[in-house]
Amino acid sequence: MPATPPASPPSAATDADYFRKLYAQGDDPWGYRTRWYEQRKRAVTAACLPGRRYAFGFEPGCAGGDLAAELAPRCDRYLAADLDPTAVAAALRLLAPLPQVEVRQLQLPGGWPQGLRFDLVVLSELGYYLGADGLAEVARLALRSLAEDGVVLACHWRHPIEGCALDGDTVQQALHQALGLPRLVQHLEPDFHLAVWSRDGRSPAVREGLL
């Protein structure tokens, strides 16, 4: 999902149409592939993960797959998903060289994969589109599907978004309260807010056996 969305984001009833119209302009409407801001943010995101490798990662709202391309090489399996068919097609093309990646079209919260256990859940530039109730449900689903040693990473744009009731800081705080997990990382910049929560609370030093 985008970091700097255009005006008048969708309501729950119209978000599919909103993103369909947006992607009609091209399969990278937010410049994920061209903006240094986005490239740097992906590098920061990857660096904040406490583990070197993960068994199964899930990234809903993957857009064209650029963040998935950064994180999936550190996973044995990786499920990337988006509600928009143009985004899904772009992600399929970009991620085709990575055999551990599956790309699906689904919409949250109702489309959350059932019966799967993830040790990495990535919620990037997604929460404001869900609204308060949808965000709470996604947090509940993430927690329910999280493995015993699993982590949740969330990163959101901090500036106001016209048409969205939630901003990035509100999303991050709501996730912190709803997940109720130890927060290993809280990275704040003027433009984005990134956090990592861990079910078992192990820091990178503990995971590495240094403590």
Reference 42, options 62, 23, 27; nearest CA is 62
Q: Structure pTM?
A: 0.88
Q: What percent of the chain has pLDDT over 70?
A: 89
Please report the pLDDT score of residue 29 as a whole number.
Answer: 67
Neighbour order of strands in the sheet with 54-60: 101-105, 75-82, 54-60, 118-124, 146-157, 192-198, 183-188
Q: What is the number of residues in the chain?
A: 211
Contact 197, 184 (CB under 8 A): yes
- Quick one: average pLDDT of 35-61? 96
Kindly give, in sequence order, each residue whose CB lies less than 8 Å from that of residue 50, ignoring residues fewer than 6 positions away: 151, 184, 185, 196, 198, 202, 203, 204, 207
Kindly give, in sequence order, each residue whose CB lies less than 8 Å from that of residue 182, ignoring residues fewer than 6 positions away: 197, 198, 201
Please report the pLDDT score of residue 211 as a whole number.
Answer: 87
Contact 48, 153 (CB under 8 A): yes
The residue that leads in pLDDT, 71 or 3, is 71
pLDDT digits 0-9 by tens, 50-72:
999 999 999 999 999 999 999 99
